Structure 1
Amino acid sequence: MSKFEDKGMIGLAWSENGFRHVTNSVHPVKTPADLAGLKLRTMENQVHIDAFKELGASPTPMSWTEVLTSLQQGTIDGQENPIPIIVSNNMWDMQKYVTLTGHVYSPAVITMSKIHWDQLSDEEKGWIREASKAAVEATRKVVDQTEADGVKTMREHGMEVIEDVDKTAFQSAVQPTYERYGKDYGEQMIQRIRDAQQ
């Protein structure tokens, strides 16, 4: 958390959105080959973009504010997000298929501007820290519940949910991305990430 200060923010707590999955309006995605040519919105994150290129998709980085309109207009074929985001945004209105790839864990961080933080009293800072901790606990409960109920909810709204995913095939397909970023961030860091996924 202390590393946020270098960027002018105060890190307060780590929360989460869950694991990210792929949705699209073209066809079921069961293998990496099924992603070929699909225009998928990704976050504006070069690692994600490179990984989806390795999978054969056409990653389209864009901010979340543009995604729903782009899906409705057919500018993009699909997107990737955790189940709570898929459910809360009624993706079934725009997307027919969801594949539970679980390809990226999506943490969320609660931060505050250091400029404003520095103007607070110690008592006020304590209140903010307590509220952040409570927010994380509440968010995790909601995420857990939505993850548990989400597949049923998506099916009830007409989405075809592909649960039986050969994750090893997807991992193999993105191996060049692991290797490329292993050079930038160190093989030890990549191994730590892989070990955490086991």
Structure 2
Amino acid sequence: MTSRKTLAAVAAVAAIAAGGAQAQFQERTFRVSNGVSKEHPMGNGLAKMGACTLQKSGNKMKIQPYWDGSLGNDLTATQQVRTGSLEMVLTSTAPLTSIIPALGVFDLPFLFNNEKEADQVLDGKVGEWFSAKLPAVGAVNLAWWENGFRHTTNSKRPITRLEDFDGVKMRVMQNNIFLDTFKTLGSNAVPMAFSEVYSALETKTVDGQENPFNNIENMKFYEVQKYLTLTKHAYSPTLVLFSKKTWDTLSPQEQATLKECAVVGREEQRRVNREQADKSVANLRSKGMQVNEIAPAEMQRIREKSKVIYERHGKAIGEEAMNLVFDDLKRIRGQ
């Protein structure tokens, strides 16, 4: 008898606890803006994050993705997140550098040698230091995802040496460091929103652009670009930005769930992004693009030429941010 009563009491407590846990979650739909199409690895990451959020919240919190910049370009969507008129955006650091100059450190050319270095810096204390700057400007970074290493395409000629950049009209992100990098290499750098790039390449408003392999394939730039050069000139992190205004209305459990699930999404997004990168190069070749690497000695000349960017922008980025990243890289590289 006693054991039955005990079991009943335990069951009652469990039911109350479960009810209490569910009560911590409200019916919510979070819209998330993205500049790429659903087929991009960002789609895999958001699918995983969305499934995780639904499961942990008892089907109450839904993530609703919007693709191809349909809610506005990264700059516009980031601004909407900051004002609270949009819940989430997946964006590179570029639209944020004007308000948080320290983030410009990630735009410096040839900063990371490989993805493993980037992961260790971004997922550790350094990444946390940068994320801690965002609430003050109206956003919360749930996790660091990636766009990946960036490469160069154009319709004029193969780029095999430093001088081949001369006179190539190159679309770059709306970002001073990217503009300065390509100007320094000799290109005529043109800032432009990602959503406008295809038509600018098609009409020859610009000769070339720079993006990770998956973006080049995903956006069908191979239809309007002949030459792909494996420059690996920059690594683009992606922030999963959430509106601080909305965040402050969530329960601690809702907040914790979003952060946990953004990390689940991150693991999937990075895995797919890296797996697809190699496939994308093969696909781009099969679509008729001429793919070339730059000889190591020539690559060294390009790196040397780019070093001035660190000096020019170091002051704006700030000594603390620069030292944090460089010291962490030294530690990772065992220097």
| TM-score (normalizing by structure 1) | 0.92
SS state at 1:100 partner: strand
Instruction: Give SS of 2:291's match.
Output: strand
Q: Deviations over 1:100-156 (max 9, x none)?
A: 100011100101000001111122212211221121111101111112212211111
**Worse overlay, 160-169 or 98-107:** 160-169
1:171 aligns with 2:306: no
Corresponding residue number in structure 1 for 2:267: 137
2-structure distance, mates of 1:163, 1:69: 27
The structural deviation recorded for 1:164 is: 3.4
Q: Where does 1:152-191 land on structure 2 (aligned, <5 Å)? A: 152-165=282-295, 166-184=298-316, 185-186=318-319, 189=322
- Out of 190, 205, 220, the position equivalent to 1:90 is 220
2:71 equivalent in structure 1: none
Alpha-carbon shift at residue 22 of structure 1 (Å): 0.5
TM-score, normalising length: structure 2:
0.56
Alignment partner, residue 326 of structure 2: 192
Structure 1 pair 187–160 and aligned structure 2 pair: CA distance change class (3 A): farther
Partner of 2:103: none
- Identity between Structure 1 and Structure 2 (%): 37
- Give the structure 1 partner of residue 170 of structure 2: 40
Shift of 1:189: 2.1
Q: 1:66 to 1:188 in 2, by over 3 A?
A: closer
What letter matches 1:99 in structure 2?
A: T
Match of 2:9 in 1: none
Deviation at 1:159, TM superposition (A): 0.4
The 5-angstrom pairing of residues 1-198 of structure 1 reads 1-165=131-295, 166-184=298-316, 185-186=318-319, 189=322, 192=326, 195=329
Query: Secondary structure of 1:164's match?
Result: coil
- CA, structure 1 residues 188+140, in 2 after alignment: closer, same or farther (shift >3 Å)? closer
Rg bigger for which structure?
2
Output the CA distance in 2 between the equivalents of 1:44 and 1:8.
21
1:171 alignment partner AA: R
Deviations 1:28-49 (A, max 9, x none): 0111110101110001111111
The gaps in structure 2 that reach 5 residues or longer are 1-130
Output the amino acid matched with 1:105. Y
Once residues 153 and 246 of structure 2 are traced to their aligned partners in structure 1, the CA distance between those partners, rounded to angstroms, is 39
Residues 27-75 of structure 1 deviation map (CA, whole Å, 9 limit, x = unaligned): 1011111010111000111111111111110000011111111111110
Paired residues in the alignment total 198
In structure 2, distance between residues paired with 1:67 and 1:193: 36
- Asked if 1 retains the 8 angstrom alpha-carbon contact of 2:161 and 2:294, the reply is no
Cα deviations by residue, 1:2-28 (Å, 9 ceiling, x for unpaired): 111111101110011111110001110
Measure how far apart 1:88 and its partner are.
1.0
Q: Which has the higher contact order (CA 8 A, sep 6+)?
A: 1
Q: What is the SS of the residue equivalent to 1:148?
A: helix
CA distance in 1: counterparts of 2:178 and 2:292, whole angstroms: 21
- Give the aligned residue type for 1:58: N
Shift of the alpha carbon at 1:84? 1.2
Match of 2:70 in 1: none
Distance 2:232 2:265 in 1: 24
Once residues 328 and 149 of structure 2 are traced to their aligned partners in structure 1, the CA distance between those partners, rounded to angstroms, is 15
Counterpart Cα distance in 1 of 2:329 and 2:260: 32
User: Secondary structure of the residue that 2:231 maps to in structure 1?
Assistant: coil
The offset of 1:181, in angstroms, is 2.1
